[in-house]
C-alpha cells in the first residue's frame, strides 16, 4: 500500500488548525467574560450604573404623601374655602396594555363601557362609543372632554364598582368654595399650578385674595413613603422603610360674618341689576375693633363655577386708587376744628370761589346765599371746605392728611394694596383736596379715617384676619390719634346734621329707632384726555356712615361708579344698600348682646352614634338635621369648638349613602351649610325660608351635582 503524505492543503491538516483556532477563540471569550465578571464583582458597577442602587430601587416603592391645603373659615366657623379632590376618567384602547398572562387591561367591550358611562357622565351612549372608536387605530387612550372631568369621589366609586376593564381615573387637587358669589375677590382663588411636581401631580397655588396673601401658610409640605418590597410586591421589614408624614397647611380664620356677608351680596346684586353701575364697593367694619364683617365689589364672580371671573381680576377694595369726593370732607372739618381754625358762626358767601385762574363751585352752583360755616359740611359745600383749607394753610392741612394715614398703605392682609397719591403743588391743588379731588385713596384708607371719628379721635386699622393656625381674639390695632376726642365728637355731630337737618344732603339715610351719622360724596372722574367727565351719571357716588351715632358700633362705606340706568338719585340708590345693611347689623348686635349669656360652644359628636349625637345637641339647645341614614356621625357643620347661638341648626353627616334632608323652614345660611357639608351646589331662589326642594326627602345625594331650593 502506498502511503499518502499529509500536506498543508490536506483536509486533516485543515481540521486540526481550525480546531486549535476555535479552542483559542473560546478561551479568549472565556477570559473576557471572566474579567468582566471580576470587574463587576469588584466595582459593583456596569456602564456607570451602580448595580446595588439599581437592585435596591427595583425592590422599593416611592410614594408621595400629598399635604392638604389649609381651610379658610369665617368668624362663625363656617368653611369659606377647602381642599377636595376631583377626578378625570379615561379609557385605554391600546392592545399593548396587558397584565400578567397577557390579561387585557384595555377596553374589551366598548358597547358595555359606553352604556354604563352614559349613566354617570353628561354624554350619550353613542357619543361615548364614538370617542372610544377613533379613526386612528394607533391612539393609546382617550378622554371625554369636560364631561369626564371634575368628577366627585362618589361618582368615581360608582363607576369603579362596575369593574369596567380599561377604564381608569386621574386624581387632581381642587379647591371648593361652597358659597359661590361670596366675598370672592377677598377670599380669592387657589388654582393648580402650571408646572407638575416630581410625581406628575399639580399643587394648588393662591392667585388672588387671602388665598394668595397667605399662600405660604396655607400650603402644606408633602411627605413620602419609601417602602422595601420583595419581587412579588410584598412589604419587607419595617426597619428598612422610610416614611415622612405630610404636614398639612395651616387654617386661616377671617373676621367675615357669613350672615352679614350673604345679606350684603344680595343687596349689591339687586342694586347692580337695577341701575347697572360700572362698578361698586361696599364694606361693613366693626367701629371698635376694625374687623371687616362684610366686604364685596361689583363686578364679581362665582368662585365655585368661575362664572364672571373674566370681568375683573382686581380686588378693587385695595388695588384701586380713586378720588373720594365729599366723604373726605370728614378729614377737612376734623383738621379745621382740631387746629383751631373753625368758627361755626362765621358767615361766608356760598356758590363759587375763585382760586388762581380757576372758579370752584358748589354742587348747587347758585349756592345758598351767605350762610354760616356750621352748615357747610351738612350741605356738602365745596366753597365752605376751600375756606377752611385756606384758613388752616396748606402745610397744616397736608399734615392732617398724613396723620389720617393717606398716601400710606393701611397694612390690611390683602394683596396688592395701593398707597394712594396726592397732587399738591399749586394753591388750586391744595384747595381741591379739601373736597376730595386731587387725592387718590383706597377703600380701606377711608374706613381707617372714619374710625377716628367713631373712637374719640383714636384711629384703628381695618383687619380681616382672625388668626392663622388657630382663631385669636381680635384686639383693635391703634395706628394714631390724628384728632382730639372733642374734635371727633363735634365732627360726629356734624355728620348727624347731614341726616337730620332739613338742609342735610343725607336725609334719606335715616333708620327707624337708630341715630345715624353719615357723609355723602360725589366725585368727578378724570377724563382720558384730561379734565373731568361731564354728565349726570359720570361720577363716583359714595356714602360713609357710623351707627349708632351715640355709641358707634359699625362703619359702612359704599361707592358706586357711573350708574348706567340712573332712574333715581344717587342717595336713593345707595340708601337701598346702606339702610337695610346697617339696620341688619344693628339688629344682629342687639340680638347677640341679648343672647351673649346663652352662647353655645359646639361639642364634637364625630364617631358617636347618631341618636346619641342628636340627643347631646338637643340638650345644648340646638337643632339637628341628618344627611344620611347611618348609625354613626362622620362629619358635622359647624365644626366642633364653634361659638354659636341657641336654636341654630347643626348638620350631621352619617356613614353610608348621603341622603337629602327635609329642608322646609331652613334659612339660607342653613342651606349653605348643606352645600358645604356635601360639596353639592344648592341653587337658592327667592328670599325668606325654604318651602320647596327639587330632590325629595331621603333621596340619594350621591352623584347629584345640584339641588334647587325655593324660599318664600
pLDDT of 634 strictly over 50 = yes
Instruction: Give yes or no: residues 262 and 411 share one domain.
Output: yes
| 411, 418 Cβ separation under 8 angstroms | no
| 639, 652 Cβ separation under 8 angstroms | no
Instruction: Give yes or no: residues 235 and 184 share one domain.
Output: yes
Q: In sequence order, what are the beta bridge partners of 545? A: 518, 556
Check residue 229 and report its DSSP letter.
B
Percent of the chain past pLDDT 90, that is, above it, reads 60
C-alpha cell at 503: 338742609
Instruction: Give yes or no: residues 492 and 347 share one domain.
Output: yes
Write the pLDDT tens digit of every residue in 264-276: 999 999 999 999 9
C-alpha to C-alpha distance for 213 and 254, rounded to whole angstroms = 13
C-alpha cell at 102: 397577557
Write the pLDDT tens digit of every residue in 60-93: 555 666 788 999 999 988 889 988 878 889 999 9
Beta strands in 268-405 (DSSP E): 277-286, 292-298, 347-349, 352-355, 358-361, 370-372
Instruction: Give yes or no: residues 262 and 340 share one domain.
Output: yes
Which position has the higher pLDDT, 689 or 30?
689
Instruction: Give yes or no: residues 515 and 574 share one domain.
Output: yes
- Among residues 541, 484, 485, 486, the alpha carbon closest in space to that of 518 is found at 541
C-alpha cell at 591: 340680638
**pTM: predicted TM-score of the whole model, two decimal places:** 0.74
- Among residues 174, 111, 173, 167, the alpha carbon closest in space to that of 144 is found at 167
pLDDT of 260 strictly over 70 = yes
CA distances from 611 to 603, 617, 634, 649 (A): 15, 10, 13, 16
- Among residues 260, 401, 267, the alpha carbon closest in space to that of 338 is found at 401
Average pLDDT in the 30-51 region? 63
- Rounded to 5°, the CA angle 149-153-155 comes to 70
Indicate which residue of 75, 326, 334, 350 is catalytic: 326
Least confident of 28-42, 176-190, 519-533, 578-592: 28-42
pLDDT of 7 reads: 56
Is 153 part of any domain? Answer: yes
State the pairing for strand pair 72-73/252-254.
parallel
Instruction: Name the band, by pLDDT with cuts 50, 70 and 90, for residue 549.
Output: very high
**88 is known as an active-site residue:** no
Q: What is the CATH number of the domain that holds 213?
A: 3.90.1310.10
Domain boundary among the residues 595, 612, 642 is at: 595
Which residue range(s) make up the domain with 98?
A: 62-252
| 474, 505 Cβ separation under 8 angstroms | no
Is 3 part of any domain? Answer: no
C-alpha cell at 664: 322646609
Instruction: Give yes or no: residues 219 and 302 share one domain.
Output: no
C-alpha to C-alpha distance for 273 and 270, rounded to whole angstroms = 5
Is 6 part of any domain? Answer: no
pLDDT of 122 strictly over 80 = yes
Sheet holding 60-65, edge to edge: 60-65, 223-228, 242-244
pLDDT of 199 reads: 47
Instruction: Give yes or no: residues 499 and 564 share one domain.
Output: yes
Write the pLDDT tens digit of every residue in 591-600: 666 655 567 8
Instruction: Give yes or no: residues 204 and 307 share one domain.
Output: no
Domains in the chain, number: 4
pLDDT of 247 strictly over 90 = no
C-alpha to C-alpha distance for 666 and 308, rounded to whole angstroms = 29
Amino acid at each position: 500500500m502506498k502511503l499518502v503524505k499529509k500536506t498543508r492543503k490536506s483536509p486533516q491538516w485543515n481540521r486540526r488548525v481550525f480546531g486549535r483556532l476555535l479552542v483559542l477563540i473560546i478561551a479568549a471569550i472565556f477570559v473576557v467574560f471572566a474579567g468582566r465578571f471580576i470587574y463587576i464583582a469588584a466595582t459593583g458597577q456596569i456602564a456607570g450604573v451602580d448595580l446595588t442602587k439599581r437592585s435596591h430601587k427595583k425592590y422599593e416603592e416611592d410614594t408621595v404623601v400629598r399635604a392638604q391645603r389649609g381651610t379658610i373659615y369665617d368668624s362663625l366657623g363656617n368653611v369659606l374655602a377647602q381642599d377636595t379632590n376631583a377626578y378625570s376618567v379615561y379609557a385605554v384602547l391600546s392592545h399593548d396594555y396587558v397584565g400578567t398572562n397577557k390579561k387585557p387591561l384595555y377596553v374589551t367591550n366598548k358597547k358595555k363601557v359606553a352604556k354604563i358611562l352614559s349613566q354617570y357622565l353628561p354624554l350619550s351612549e353613542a357619543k361615548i362609543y364614538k370617542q372610544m372608536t377613533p379613526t386612528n387605530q394607533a391612539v393609546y387612550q382617550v378622554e371625554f372632554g369636560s364631561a369626564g372631568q371634575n368628577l366627585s369621589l362618589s361618582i368615581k366609586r360608582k363607576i369603579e364598582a362596575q369593574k369596567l376593564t380599561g377604564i381608569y381615573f386621574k386624581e387632581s387637587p381642587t379647591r371648593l368654595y361652597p358659597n359661590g358669589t361670596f366675598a370672592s375677590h377677598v377670599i380669592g382663588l387657589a388654582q393648580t399650578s402650571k408646572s407638575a411636581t416630581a410625581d406628575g401631580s399639580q399643587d394648588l397655588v393662591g392667585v388672588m385674595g387671602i388665598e394668595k396673601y397667605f399662600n405660604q401658610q396655607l400650603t402644606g409640605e408633602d411627605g413620602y413613603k419609601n417602602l422595601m418590597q420583595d419581587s412579588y410586591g410584598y412589604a419587607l421589614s419595617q426597619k428598612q422603610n422610610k416614611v415622612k408624614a405630610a404636614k398639612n397647611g395651616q387654617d386661616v380664620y377671617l373676621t367675615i360674618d357669613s350672615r352679614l356677608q350673604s345679606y350684603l351680596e344680595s343687596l349689591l346684586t339687586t342694586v347692580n341689576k337695577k341701575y347697572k353701575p360700572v362698578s361698586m364697593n361696599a364694606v361693613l367694619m366693626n367701629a371698635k375693633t376694625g374687623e371687616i364683617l362684610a366686604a364685596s365689589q361689583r363686578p364679581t364672580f362665582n368662585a365655585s363655577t368661575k362664572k364672571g371671573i373674566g370681568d375683573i381680576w382686581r380686588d378693587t377694595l385695595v388695588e384701586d386708587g380713586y378720588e373720594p369726593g365729599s366723604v373726605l370732607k370728614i378729614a377737612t372739618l376734623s383738621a379745621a376744628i382740631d387746629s383751631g381754625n373753625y368758627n361755626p358762626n362765621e358767615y361766608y358767601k356760598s356758590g363759587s370761589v375763585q382760586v388762581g385762574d380757576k372758579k370752584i363751585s358748589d354742587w348747587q352752583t347758585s349756592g345758598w346765599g351767605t350762610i354760616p360755616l356750621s352748615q357747610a359740611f351738612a350741605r356738602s359745600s365745596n366753597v365752605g371746605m376751600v375756606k377752611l383749607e385756606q384758613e388752616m394753610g396748606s402745610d397744616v392741612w397736608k399734615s392732617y392728611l398724613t396723620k389720617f394715614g393717606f398716601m400710606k398703605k393701611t397694612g390690611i392682609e390683602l394683596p396688592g394694596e395701593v398707597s394712594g397719591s396726592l397732587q399738591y403743588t399749586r394753591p388750586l391743588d391744595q384747595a381741591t383736596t379739601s373736597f376730595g379731588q386731587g387725592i387718590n385713596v383706597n377703600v380701606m384708607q377711608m374706613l381707617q379715617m372714619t374710625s377716628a371719628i367713631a373712637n374719640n379721635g383714636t384711629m384703628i386699622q381695618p383687619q380681616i384676619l382672625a388668626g392663622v393656625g388657630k382663631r385669636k381674639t381680635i384686639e383693635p390695632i391703634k395706628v394714631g390719634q390724628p384728632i382730639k376726642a372733642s374734635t371727633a365728637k363735634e365732627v360726629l355731630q356734624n355728620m348727624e346734621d347731614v341726616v337730620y337737618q332739613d338742609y342735610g344732603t343725607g336725609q334719606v339715610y335715616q333708620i327707624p329707632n337708630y341715630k345715624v351719622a353719615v357723609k355723602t360724596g360725589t366725585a368727578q372722574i378724570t377724563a382720558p384726555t384730561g379734565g373731568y367727565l361731564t354728565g349726570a351719571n359720570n361720577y363716583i357716588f359714595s356714602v360713609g356712615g357710623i351707627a349708632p351715632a351715640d355709641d358707634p358700633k359699625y362703619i359702612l362705606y359704599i361707592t358706586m361708579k357711573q350708574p348706567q340706568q340712573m332712574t333715581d338719585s344717587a342717595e336713593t340708590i345707595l340708601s337701598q344698600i346702606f339702610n337695610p345693611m346697617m339696620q341688619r347689623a344693628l339688629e344682629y348686635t342687639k340680638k347677640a348682646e341679648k343672647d351673649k349669656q346663652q352662647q353655645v360652644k359646639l361639642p364634637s359628636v364625630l364617631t358617636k352614634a347618631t341618636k346619641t349625637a342628636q340627643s347631646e345637641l338637643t340638650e345644648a339647645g340646638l337643632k339637628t338635621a341628618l344627611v344620611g341614614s347611618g348609625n354613626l356621625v362622620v362629619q358635622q357643620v359647624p365644626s366642633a369648638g364653634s361659638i354659636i347661638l341657641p336654636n341654630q341648626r347643626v348638620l350631621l353627616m352619617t356613614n353610608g349613602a348621603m341622603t337629602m334632608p327635609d329642608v322646609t323652614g331652613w334659612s339660607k345660611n342653613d342651606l349653605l351649610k348643606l352645600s358645604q357639608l356635601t360639596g353639592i351646589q344648592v341653587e337658592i331662589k327667592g328670599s325668606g325660608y325654604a318651602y320647596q326642594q327639587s330632590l325629595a326627602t331621603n333621596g340619594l345625594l350621591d352623584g347629584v351635582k345640584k339641588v334647587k331650593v325655593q324660599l318664600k
